[in-house]
Structure 1
Amino acid sequence: MSVAQWARDLAMGVRFALTGGREGWTRALLTAVGVGLGVALLLLTTAIPSALDARHEREADRTDITWMDSPAPPKGEDTLLVADLDTEYRGQEIRGRGMEPEGPGAPVPPGLDAVPAVGEMAVSPALRELLESDSGKLLRDRLPDRITGTIAEEGLVGSREFAFVRGAEGLAAHLGDYRVTRIDHFGASDSASEGLDPVLLLLVIVVFVVLLMPVAVFIATAVRFGGERRDRRLAALRLVGADGRMTRRIAAGEALAGSVLGLLFGTAFFLVGRQLAGQAVVYDVSVFPSYLDPSPLLALLVAVAVPTAAVLVTLFALRGVVIEPLGVVRTARPARRRLWWRLLLPLAGLAMLYPMIGQGREGGDFNQYLVVGGVVLLLIGVTALLPWIVERFVARLGAGPVAWQLAVRRIQVNSGTAARMVNGVAVAVAGAVALQMLFAGVDDDYTRDTGRDVSRAQMQVTLSDGMPASATAGFASTAGVEKVYAFSEGSVGDRRTDPESSEQVTVGDCAALREVVRLDSCADGDVFAVLDPSYESDIKALATPGRVLYFDPSYGDDEGARVAWTVPEGVKNARERVGLTANTTTGFLFTPAALDGEALAGLRTEVYLQLDRSVPDHQEQVRNTAAAVDPLADVMVWSATEQSEKFTAIRTGLFVGAACVLALIGASLLVTQLEQLRERRKLLSSLVAFGTRRRTLGLSVLWQTAVPIAVGLLLSAVVGLTLGTVLLKMTGTPVRVDWPSLLSMTGVGAAVVLVVTLLSLPPLLKLVRPEGLRTE
């Protein structure tokens, strides 16, 4: 067969699709919408790398707190003091900076024309909206400065990011504090970022495959819309001399036209979604529309792959259909589907994954090609096995109510169509179950115990250097605070500089000290020493009465307070106790009256708070008090465990992608359902004309969806458990089934189908009117 003949037949199919009257246009439109939804999500996926790169570059361009990277430059006409004022409001992180120029040449942060003056601040559009709303009243109390500007896109990493820059003064006194630094430019120096460990890299690969496979399945399903009517038209072509191969090529041409229209629709959907993405926040992640710029190479791959897949899928679908001049020999009893070749796909997938079982982290990176190939084959195995299982299952279904019989008979006549409708859901659920098993299995590896006793305290406030402990009095009167434990901490040494022996110093009232050590008696003015620590210490020698010690001694070039203190008579003994942070406190302990203000000035103050969680916004009340006491205060909400940021980011990415895929699943299923109802319009109208109740037809449509989805979800659970087990064995993690996640994933899949079915009932009631029998 020549290429010219192929081209002519495909072109004829394209003309039939575009000039076939209302019927042809409706079919082409449905195909275009279905394909377009998939193409839009594929384009969005191809844009994710560029979006991540854009966010990373934007974050790097505005980097200012560089104390970990290099020493701060000396004060000059071109330097700027920057304070980290990050805060949080009702679970939403807010990026904050206080800035104080040290000269006329001080750098200006990206997104601003000038550094705000003292008492003024510039905010992001999202933060301005929040501050001006009723729900932002508490936050407005925390940020009372006058808003004089808006941070432009160049200074933000996302369209809905909450950020502010405020003018500050007196920051030089806090240099050396981890929240204050001096800079002469914005932007971080280029440095190689730490790569992902093998297990996290495996998670990323599997997430991408699992999210993209349902998209591919839906596109393959969409190009087969209107299959029964199309085959009847092809039978008419046989009457005028077309042979079987020519009719298949013409059918492929019709699918090609629908897929090309789908590319146009998908591009339009993507452009609209690109603009809407600027207003969306999914799991605290937002982007600017300009970030979503698909890679030209990947976009070209989508443009070529989708029409090619449409042609190949159509030819594959017609391989078992005999199109004769007088009809399509598919209406007779079809040949039973064979099982052997359908089992080869998942078995081949398992064979590709098998060599990596037991590799774990120590074995290096997993072979990406084998991982992708194995997971793809296992998930494709769901689409191959589902039609066979549905056919065998429905063949054994018996009598029942009229609605049940209508549904069962419809599935028995064309089980392939019923299976295709739920293929995408089954693939998505199978992948989600496997991923949830993998995430649950390795969760402990990326979660650590913080050691904090959340039963005794739930928040911690670190005040900046030089803030006295008396400043903590305001926390006791804060709404939602039940108990306040304030400690001033530092060290003493036997010499002013470079001491040979030094010990920890803790200052607090008696109630606070009893939270970290065991005391027989305590009164304000007492001094204690932990004389029986579990490790070797110089405390006994340092606690000798009359010995002179020095608070905050200096080391090397560092300058300390070096306040002299003479050890008094009557230092009491304190015994160790596990403290609020699971550490034991050693060294000297003082009540406030035992030290003068000069010695206290060189200590850092930590405040631990026990909260009444029944008080609304108790955390925000604490943050407001902390900001009023010390603008540089660092507020931390305690939790019993902490999770790796990279692991959390990958899980967040999965949730964001899953939300997009679920939206595609719902929209594509709805289009598929409407197309099925449109093809059966005359049959449904005939049933109504003969007295069938509309309620019965509605229930039959529900059963037609429920039976295949139940079989599909059962198969997806089995495949998901199998894939999850293999992935856990690959990572060297004990196999454990996360039953709540499995049930929730299958429940979500069933809920999507149920919602789609309910949305299709109004069009069904419109189609089943007796007027539907009219024809031209």
Structure 2
Amino acid sequence: MTTRPAITLLIGLRLLLGTGRTGRARFLLMSLGCAMGVACLAAVLTIPAILAAHDSRAAARAPRPVTGVPHARSAADTVFLTRQDPYGSQPFTRVFVGHPADGRPPHPPGIDRLPKSGEVLVSPRLREILAEQPGLAGLLPGRITGTIGPEGLTGPDELYAYVGRSPGQLPSSARPLAGFGAEWAPTPAVDSSTLSILRFALGCLVLLPLAVFLSVCARLSAEARARRLAALRLLGLSVKGTLRVNAVETVAAALLGAVLGVGVYALANEAFARVGLPGLQWYPPDGRPSGTVLAVCLLACPGLAWFVGRHRAREAALRPLRVRRSVRPRPPKRYGMLLLLPGLGVICGYCALGALGRDPSDGPVGAVLVPVGVLLTGAGLVLALAPATAWLARRLAGTTQSLPLALAMRRNEVEPGSSLRVVTGLVLLVYAASLAQGVLVELAHISRPTSPTQEYALPFNELNDGQLTRTRRVEGVRSQALAMDSWIPRASSTTPRITAVVADCEQLAAFTAVPPRGCVDGRIQRLTDSDMAEAPDARPGRSYPFLMRTEGGLGALTEKFRVTLPRGSLAITARQPSAFAGADVLVPPSLLPAGQRPAAGQFLLMSRSTPDTVRTVLDGLGTIAPTAEIEAVGVNIDSLQQITVVKSLLAAGMVLGLAIGVAAFAVSAADRAMESRGRLATLNLLGARPLTVRTAQCVQLLLPLTVGLAGALVAGRLAESSYLITGGGTVHWDGDGLPVLAVCTAGILLTAALASLPLTHRHVELEHIGRD
């Protein structure tokens, strides 16, 4: 019998709304589950848009210097100078601009005009920090006259300022300004290589469990719906009509859930944009779903629901008698092993290479094989769980003498999918959490400070005598020194060159990891370091010239100060990183010519490496020399900021993955409880004791969960190790994270066991007896 699409649509809606409280509860459960899944999907898909908006704003405000024909700086030019300092783990950017009073220079987005001399424009967050810490105002000479708008900032928490100065107040390193705007962001939120790793990690953490979760939601009440569809088929409905009726039920619930999920994400974006993540804040318009994201969410979720539900519906349409009579289903197929075995082969191969001491991190092969192996292993864990559980249940059921265990094993043998829907999300959660932990281990190793001290380098020729005296008195500074390179003619590229440090023995001991033995004050000494190769230009007995200026600042060049490299050497152990690494000779300050000072070099200061001390020293140095370029040796603030962003996004992904895993367990457990009421009623009528029924239900759930979690724990550790080995870092084996994962796995097993107990009850309803 052929049926018009409109009639099948009406039948589907009728079945959807007229199945009583149980049917409406299942429909609501499907819709809410899909809503949560779509909200997580929208959050993951919007992350690239948030990062792109960050980079586009940074590119639009980037100062563009005059290029092309060499341009001599004149009084009519607008010049700029950019200084970036670390404020904790966050960059603090100051753009000094100087322009003629009667000129109209171009201005960046977010402000109406460039500040005049003595004026300062700051970001809203910087204005709040200045109110809390007035000492920071020394970095911004002038009075605050305005605030930068959102168009000129990458996020609400950014520390950014435009400082107006007269052109004569800016050093010679200031460059003429041509305008604002660049094709690429000077410092992207996340560079391309790290972004690829982030996408892969988020895909394993969120998208893979999300696909399983949406599939679980689409298969809720699958048995009851299959029986209804089989009844319609026996009443004369065509195969296509039966499939259309099923599509109406599944797609309607998925579409309603998709709409709700998009709405939930839109509300969450407005709220979380004001709070943000550590290292990453965004404006609400940046996080609103685009047309592409809406299309994916509103089409992918119903499409996946239709695809997943079609298999069971097709079975009911083609074999209705088999479904109505509850014939034993076919055993699960074993094609999942085809994905699991090659995936394990790839990651085990890299682990073996790492154990043998071979470094397989070079080359693009590992960058492709390891992600493919990890994804194949994750998908294989899901697909191989059903046949592995059925095989193990059949073995146990044939050997056990326990009635509860036999009941549980026979049910898992006959229908392993009923329990697998409950445990699959938790299995993928453990697997993905282990992999994400490997990414966090590598990032933590990169960002962890390895030295107890922190050095600061300032350009010596930009500091006058008063500034030099004040920098030595900055709170937190423990020692100082001077590093300078020997002079070579500009036209010569073959003149030997060495690096000298001007310090006494006490200062040398403060800057090195181990106090050197044999240091004598007042004597020039050649330096050697066992961790550094000796410079080929540093030849004992040769004399090297150093340029000097008269004291008082930028005096004229005088005669060169010559240093003869001694034949004897003083062994030191420089910290890494340190400006003392690679130094060739130690020059006592007392031997410098009286009334003269080095013409160039780096003025070095040293403090403890605690974050509070570093922050105090940087603030103090910035107040003394606001336009000087202060380098925290070994600290790349852009890299630290990117690591903070990646850690925040991974933490958010782990939270989303945890929410998806718990939701998958809760939704599947509720659906399993409703579907198993008939079988429980039969056992109760046959006189089974409550303890027997509860034990059987608990064991039925714990068997596939134990098998899956054990496989996820082992495979996850192998996947994490293969990632660390091919990542190029020094950490290849993460032993610290194993106890945490083991405890979490045990907690999941205990929680699942306790959650399965309330699913059994002694109350018997007539409708459950009549069906069986």
TM-score when normalising by structure 1: 0.74
Q: Which residue of 1 aligns with 2:387?
A: 388
3-state SS in 1 of match to 2:209: helix
Q: CA deviation at 1:489?
A: 3.2
Q: CA deviation at 1:507?
A: 2.9
Q: Which residue of 1 aligns with 2:154?
A: 157
Residue 215 of structure 2 corresponds to residue 216 of structure 1: no
Change beyond 3 A, Cα 1:189–1:284? closer
CA contact (8 A) 2:542 2:565 kept: no
3-state SS in 1 of match to 2:559: strand
Q: CA deviation at 1:354?
A: 12
Change beyond 3 A, Cα 1:166–1:312? same
Q: Which residue of 2 aligns with 1:658?
A: 654
Looking at structure 2, the residues matched to 568 and 379 of structure 1 have their Cα atoms a distance apart, in angstroms, of: 65
Please identify, of 574-583 and 657-666, the stretch whose mean Cα deviation from structure 2 is larger.
Answer: 574-583
CA contact (8 A) 1:462 1:635 kept: yes
Q: Which residue of 1 aligns with 2:524?
A: 528
CA contact (8 A) 1:259 1:306 kept: yes
Looking at structure 2, the residues matched to 698 and 144 of structure 1 have their Cα atoms a distance apart, in angstroms, of: 74
Q: How does 1:267-416 map to 2 (within 5 A)?
A: 267-292=262-287, 294=289, 296-297=291-292, 299-318=294-313, 328-330=324-326, 334-335=328-329, 337-338=331-332, 340-347=334-341, 364=364, 376-393=375-392, 396=396, 415-416=416-417
Change beyond 3 A, Cα 1:119–1:733? closer
Q: Which residue of 2 aligns with 1:185?
A: 179
Q: Which residue of 2 aligns with 1:418?
A: 419
CA contact (8 A) 2:548 2:599 kept: no
Change beyond 3 A, Cα 1:628–1:736? closer
3-state SS in 1 of match to 2:93: strand
Q: CA deviation at 1:36?
A: 1.9
Deviation per CA, 1:262-301: give whole Å up to 9, x if none: 2211221232233234134334223323223556456434
Give the % identical residues.
Answer: 23
Looking at structure 2, the residues matched to 630 and 382 of structure 1 have their Cα atoms a distance apart, in angstroms, of: 60
Q: CA deviation at 1:256?
A: 1.5
CA contact (8 A) 1:626 1:635 kept: no
CA contact (8 A) 2:457 2:631 kept: yes
CA contact (8 A) 2:279 2:644 kept: no
Deviation per CA, 1:120-174: give whole Å up to 9, x if none: 54443344455556xx677678779765433221112224334344445677452
3-state SS in 1 of match to 2:215: helix
Q: Which residue of 2 aligns with 1:458?
A: 454
Q: Letter of the aligned partner of 2:589 in structure 1?
A: T
Aligned length: 739
Q: Which residue of 2 aligns with 1:9?
A: 8
CA contact (8 A) 2:540 2:565 kept: no
TM-score when normalising by structure 2: 0.75
CA contact (8 A) 1:480 1:621 kept: yes
Among 702, 705, 710, the alignment partner of 1:709 is 705
Change beyond 3 A, Cα 1:757–1:163? farther
3-state SS in 1 of match to 2:426: helix
Q: CA deviation at 1:219?
A: 0.7
Looking at structure 2, the residues matched to 93 and 773 of structure 1 have their Cα atoms a distance apart, in angstroms, of: 69
Please identify, of 743-752 and 78-87, the stretch whose mean Cα deviation from structure 2 is larger.
Answer: 743-752
CA contact (8 A) 1:142 1:624 kept: yes
Change beyond 3 A, Cα 1:623–1:434? closer
CA contact (8 A) 2:100 2:167 kept: no
Looking at structure 1, the residues matched to 226 and 703 of structure 2 have their Cα atoms a distance apart, in angstroms, of: 26
Looking at structure 2, the residues matched to 116 and 205 of structure 1 have their Cα atoms a distance apart, in angstroms, of: 41
Change beyond 3 A, Cα 1:72–1:699? farther
Q: Which residue of 2 aligns with 1:556?
A: none
Change beyond 3 A, Cα 1:498–1:281? same
Q: Which residue of 2 aligns with 1:605?
A: 603
CA contact (8 A) 2:698 2:756 kept: no
Please identify, of 533-542 and 213-222, the stretch whose mean Cα deviation from structure 2 is larger.
Answer: 533-542
Q: How does 1:190-201 map to 2 (within 5 A)?
A: none
CA contact (8 A) 1:505 1:587 kept: yes
Q: Letter of the aligned partner of 2:148 in structure 1?
A: I
Change beyond 3 A, Cα 1:410–1:596? farther
3-state SS in 2 of match to 1:563: coil
3-state SS in 1 of match to 2:604: strand
| Structure 2 runs not aligned, ≥5 long | 354-358, 529-533
Q: CA deviation at 1:487?
A: 1.8
Looking at structure 2, the residues matched to 271 and 124 of structure 1 have their Cα atoms a distance apart, in angstroms, of: 26
Residue 35 of structure 2 corresponds to residue 39 of structure 1: no
Looking at structure 2, the residues matched to 640 and 114 of structure 1 have their Cα atoms a distance apart, in angstroms, of: 31
Among 479, 487, 490, the alignment partner of 2:481 is 487
Change beyond 3 A, Cα 1:336–1:573? same
Change beyond 3 A, Cα 1:604–1:711? same
Among 248, 257, 263, the alignment partner of 2:252 is 257
Residue 59 of structure 2 corresponds to residue 64 of structure 1: no
Looking at structure 2, the residues matched to 647 and 69 of structure 1 have their Cα atoms a distance apart, in angstroms, of: 36
Change beyond 3 A, Cα 1:197–1:672? same
Deviation per CA, 1:353-377: give whole Å up to 9, x if none: 9999999677657897x98876555
Looking at structure 2, the residues matched to 127 and 693 of structure 1 have their Cα atoms a distance apart, in angstroms, of: 69
CA contact (8 A) 1:207 1:654 kept: yes
Looking at structure 2, the residues matched to 464 and 222 of structure 1 have their Cα atoms a distance apart, in angstroms, of: 67
Change beyond 3 A, Cα 1:29–1:71? farther
Change beyond 3 A, Cα 1:409–1:538? closer
CA contact (8 A) 2:41 2:297 kept: yes
**Cα RMSD (Å):** 5.8
Looking at structure 2, the residues matched to 160 and 640 of structure 1 have their Cα atoms a distance apart, in angstroms, of: 20
Change beyond 3 A, Cα 1:188–1:420? same
Deviation per CA, 1:566-585: give whole Å up to 9, x if none: 66999998746344426242
Residue 587 of structure 2 corresponds to residue 589 of structure 1: yes
Among 614, 624, 627, the alignment partner of 1:629 is 624
